[in-house]
């Protein structure tokens, strides 16, 4: 099934369960290597990126067993350093975490330069400078990154000159078994950083301050296995919130942490969409009509860059003129060309997109160029008049659990097709 076929303009209603967070599970899965033991991880989303990561662990010698659909047992005792299959590693951004995990367990690491979504340059200089601060010698020949700390890593103060989710995760992984105290300043504060620290602490690490911009890691000699449940995916939740707002209807999301959704919720309310928060659920009520707004993407707790393309769809049909300024990934506008095929009026200049509202999008044949652009096209197709065919669906499969099943249950006319 290589395309999605969507017939639009059907309101969404009902309930949707949000899955575990992809970007939290990825560093946690690599963290199981450091545990050198058996870990059981709950709420693991069955999506392309996670399946590929579990395959990497298996090829490295881990024994991976699904206890149920979303609970995975991973025994990393037989994992061998430097055995990750490069063909898989090079397709995934998350595989950068192998560097921190291998350094922590073996004192050396060799990992193919990571891939991931095509949303512009994804440097890893902050990761490399952080590893060097911890005492590793690091080389990057453009194909492989190699790191070595023959006498082990030593704690140090790391001050990032830019906030990076990936570099912060990698420092937590590397530093948890380093000698002494590591202090990470200007750390990312995303909920998945807190979740990774929660997992590592449950494995015996001593990490404090996760969720603030200063994190302290007191090194321990070794970690051990644990059982850990991953947080809900705030970007999947935000995607269903944006879809409900765009198409109209009433949808309740279960298994969400409303606090993580605050910027998305606030922006939807500012636009005139009703959002009702409860302890672990959020209900969005929309008649498909809402006001324009402005967004500037920022690191958490700012507006997430991973919600930018989905909100671009809302802005294409909002009443009035809207703007998005992208501060994290300045080239993240490939979706604009595709939305224009559906009738959207968007002008992109440098790292800004300007939207003039159109009454209605219309169905077209479009192509998903990356994960969140793919999500945006699904929302656009659900809101549009007529039929939309989306190809490049492998990007969508990488990050969304059963998107067809979940949307069908809400009343959408959506199916996988082979063409």
Which residue numbers are catalytic? 117
Pairing of strands 214-218, 181-185: antiparallel
Write out the residues near ligand UD1 by the rule CB under 6 A: 23, 26, 93-94, 122-127, 162, 164-167, 188, 305-306, 328-329
Q: How far is CA 295 from CA 70, 124, 240, 324, 394, in A?
A: 34, 26, 18, 5, 28
**Closer to ligand UD1 by Cβ: residue 119 or 318:** 119
How far apart (Å, rounded) are the C-alpha atoms in residues 355 and 286? 21
Residue 278 beta carbon to ligand UD1: minimum distance, rounded to whole angstroms:
26
- Whats the size of the chain, residue-wise? 419
Residue 332 beta carbon to ligand UD1: minimum distance, rounded to whole angstroms:
9
Residue 200 beta carbon to ligand UD1: minimum distance, rounded to whole angstroms:
16
Residue 372 beta carbon to ligand UD1: minimum distance, rounded to whole angstroms:
8
**Closer to ligand UD1 by Cβ: residue 26 or 318:** 26
Return the axis-axis angle of helices 97-106 and 22-35, rounded to nearest 10°.
20
Q: Report the residue closest to ligand UD1, judged by CB.
A: 166
Pick left, alpha or beta for residue 169 (phi over 0 → left; psi -120 to 50 → alpha; otherwise beta): alpha
Return the axis-axis angle of helices 22-35 and 191-202, rounded to nearest 10°.
20
**Closer to ligand UD1 by Cβ: residue 50 or 284:** 50
8-state DSSP, 203: T
**Closer to ligand UD1 by Cβ: residue 112 or 204:** 112
CA distance from start to end of the chain: 8
| Cβ atoms of 343 and 336 closer than 8 Å | no
CA angle 48, 10, 372 (to 5 degrees): 30
Residue 172 beta carbon to ligand UD1: minimum distance, rounded to whole angstroms:
13
Give the residue from 133, 229, 122 showing the smallest Cα distance to 174. 133
Q: 196: which 2 tokens?
A: 């990774």
**Closer to ligand UD1 by Cβ: residue 328 or 404:** 328
């Amino acid at each position: 099934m290589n395309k999605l076929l969507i017939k639009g303009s059907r309101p969404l209603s009902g309930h949707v369960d949000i899955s575990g967070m992809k970007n939290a599970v990825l560093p946690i899965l690599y963290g199981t290597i450091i545990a050198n033991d058996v870990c059981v991880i709950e709420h693991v989303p069955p999506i392309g990126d996670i399946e590929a990561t579990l395959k990497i662990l298996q090829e490295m010698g881990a024994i991976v067993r699904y206890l149920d659909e979303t609970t995975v047992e991973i025994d990393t005792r037989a994992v061998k350093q430097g055995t990750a299959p490069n063909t898989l590693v090079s397709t995934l951004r998350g595989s950068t975490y192998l560097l921190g995990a291998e350094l922590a367990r073996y004192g050396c690491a060799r990992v193919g330069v990571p891939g991931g979504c095509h949303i512009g340059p994804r440097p890893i200089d902050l990761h490399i400078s952080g590893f060097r601060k911890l005492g590793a010698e690091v080389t990057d020949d453009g194909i492989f990154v190699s790191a070595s700390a023959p006498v082990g890593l030593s704690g140090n103060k790391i001050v990032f000159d830019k906030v990076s989710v990936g570099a912060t995760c990698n420092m937590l992984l590397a530093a948890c078994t380093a000698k002494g105290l590591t202090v990470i300043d200007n750390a990312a504060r995303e909920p998945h950083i807190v979740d990774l620290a929660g997992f590592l602490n449950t494995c015996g690490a001593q990490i404090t301050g996760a969720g603030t911009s200063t994190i302290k890691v007191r090194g321990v000699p070794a970690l051990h296995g644990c059982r850990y449940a991953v947080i809900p995916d705030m970007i999947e939740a935000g995607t269903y919130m944006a879809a409900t707002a765009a198409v109209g209807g009433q949808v309740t999301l279960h298994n969400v942490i409303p606090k993580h959704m605050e910027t998305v919720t606030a922006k939807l309310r500012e636009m005139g969409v009703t959002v009702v928060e409860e302890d672990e659920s959020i209900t969005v009520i929309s008649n498909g009509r809402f006001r324009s707004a402005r967004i500037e993407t920022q690191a958490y707790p700012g507006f997430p860059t991973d919600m930018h393309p989905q909100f671009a769809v809302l802005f294409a049909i909002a009443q009035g003129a809207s703007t998005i300024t992208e501060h994290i990934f300045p080239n993240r506008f490939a979706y604009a060309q595709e939305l224009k095929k559906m009738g959207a009026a968007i002008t992109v200049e440098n790292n800004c997109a300007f939207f003039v509202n159109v009454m209605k999008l219309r169905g077209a044949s479009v192509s998903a160029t990356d994960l969140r652009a793919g999500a945006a096209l699904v929302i656009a197709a659900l809101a549009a008049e007529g039929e939309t065919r989306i190809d490049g669906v492998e990007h969508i499969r990488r990050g969304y659990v059963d998107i067809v099943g979940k949307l069908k249950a809400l009343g959408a006319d959506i199916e996988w097709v082979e063409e």
